[in-house]
Amino acid sequence: MPKGFGSKSANNGKRSFDEWWGSVPSDLRQKARKGDEQNKPLLNQVNYVLLHLHLAGKHDAKPSHAELKDWLHSGQVDVLRMAKK
C-alpha cells in the first residue's frame, strides 16, 4: 500500500487533514500548534510535523502528495495567515 494510505476515507482513499492529524503523536501536535489551536492549521505547522516524522524515520506516517494537495486546495490547511482589515 502506498505511503499515507494507512486509513482510507470516502474521499477517493485520501484522508482529511483531521484524520491524519489524529494519527500524529500528541507531543508533536502540541509543539507544532501551541498557542494557535483556535486557528486553521498553517502549511508551516504541517511542514514542522513532516520534518520531525521524516527525521524519526516514520515515513509511513507522512501524508501522500495527493493528500497534501487536497488539504491545500480544499482549504483544510492555509498557506499563510491573512490579517483581517
Tens of pLDDT, residue by residue over 28-37, are 999 999 999 9
Q: Phi, psi (5° rounding) for residue 78?
A: -90, 150
> pTM (2 decimals)?
0.78
Domain ranges of the chain: 17-73
- Confidence at residue 1, expressed as pLDDT on a 0 to 100 scale: 39
In the predicted model, what is the mean pLDDT of residues 2-7?
46
Above pLDDT 90, what percent of the chain? 76
CB 47 within 8 A of CB 53: no
The x, y and z cell numbers of residue 23, run together, are 494519527
Calculate the alpha carbon distances from 55 to 2, 14, 46, 52, 59 in Å.
19, 24, 14, 5, 9
Burial class (CB in 10 A: 0-12, 13-18, 19+), 78: middle
Q: Residue 51 pLDDT more than 50?
A: yes
pLDDT band at 4 (very low <50, low <70, confident <90, very high): very low
